[in-house]
Amino acid sequence: MLHIVACIKQVPDTKIIKMNPKTNTMDRASAPAILNPYDAHAVEEAVRLKKRYGGTVSVLTMGPPPAVKAIKKCIEIGADAGYMISDRAFAGADTLATSYALTKAIEKISKIKPVDLIICGKMTIDGDTGQVGPGIARRLDMPPLTSVNKVKEINVKEGYAVVHRKLEDGYEVIQSTMPCLMSVEKEINEVPYSSMSNMLKAARYQPIIWAVADLEDVDRPQLGLKGSPTIVSKVWAPTKPSGGTMLEGDAAQQSQQLLNILLEKKELFAVKGGSGVEF
Partner 1 sequence: MSFEDYSGIWVFIEVKDGEVVPVSLELLGAGKELADKRGTELAGVLIGENVTHLADYLYEYGADAVYVYDDVIYKNYRTESYMKALLECCQKYKPEVILYGATSTGKDLASAVATDLPTGLTADSTILDIEEDTGLLLASRPAFGGNIMATILCKKYRPQMATVRPKVMKALTPEPGRTGRLIEETASIKEDDIRTKVLEIVQHTTKKVRIDEADIIVAGGKGLGSASGFQLIHDLAETLGGAVGASRDVVEAGWVEHHHQVGQTGVTVTPKIYFAIGISGAIQHIVGMQNSSLIIAINSDPAASIFQSSHYGIVGDAFEIVPLLIEQFKQAFNQEVIDHV
Partner 2 sequence: MSEKFDCIVVGAGPAGISCAYELAKAGVNVLLIERGEYPGSKNVMGGVLYRKMMEDVIPDFWKEAPLERPIVEQRFMMMDKESAITFGYKGMEWGKEPYNNFTVLRAKFDQWFAGKAVEQGALLVNETVVLECIVENGKVVGVRTDRPDGDLYADVVVLADGVNSLLAKSLGFHKEFRPDEVALATMEIIKLDKKIIEDRFNLEENQGTTIELFGDATKGILGTGFLYTNKDTLSLGVGSLLSGLIKHKIKPYELLEYVKNHPMIRPYIAGGEPVEYLAHMIPEGGYKSMPKVAGNGVLVVGDAAQLVNAIHREGSNLAMTSGQLAAETVLLAKERDDYSESTLNHYKTRLMSSFVGQDMKKYKDSTHHFDKFPQYFDKYIPMMNKAASQMFTVDGSSKWEKQKKIWRDVGSAGEKIKLARDAYRAWKVMK
Question: Is 130 in a helix, a strand, or coil?
Answer: coil
**Binders of partner 2 in range 12-31 (CB under 8 A):** 18, 21, 27, 30
Distance CA 102, CA 9 (A): 11
Radius of gyration of the chain (CA): 21
Q: Are strands 25-27 and 18-20 parallel, antiparallel or unpaired?
A: antiparallel
- Cβ proximity to partner 2: between 195 and 254 the closer is 195
- Cβ proximity to partner 1: between 15 and 157 the closer is 15
Span of 45-53, 125-133, 193-201, 209-217 interacting with partner 2 by CB under 8 A: 193-201
Amino acid at 212: V
Position among 23, 32, 170, 173 found at the interface with partner 2 (CB under 8 A): 32
Distance CA 137, CA 140 (A): 5
Minimum Å gap between C-beta 127 and partner 2 is 22
- Cβ proximity to partner 2: between 193 and 236 the closer is 193
Span of 55-63, 111-119, 136-144, 192-200 interacting with partner 2 by CB under 8 A: 192-200
Bin 180: left if φ > 0, else alpha if -120 < ψ < 50, else beta: beta
DSSP class of residue 146 equals: E
Minimum Å gap between C-beta 174 and partner 2 is 34
Q: Is the peptide bond before 179 cis (omega within 30 degrees of 0)?
A: yes
Binding site partner of 54, from partner 2, partner 1, none, Cβ cut-off 5-8 A by kind:
none
Q: Are strands 18-20 and 55-62 parallel, antiparallel or unpaired?
A: unpaired
- Cβ proximity to partner 1: between 79 and 181 the closer is 181
- Cβ proximity to partner 2: between 233 and 242 the closer is 242
DSSP class of residue 112 equals: H
Binding site for partner 2 (CB under 8 A): 18, 21, 27, 30, 32, 193-197, 199-200, 203-204
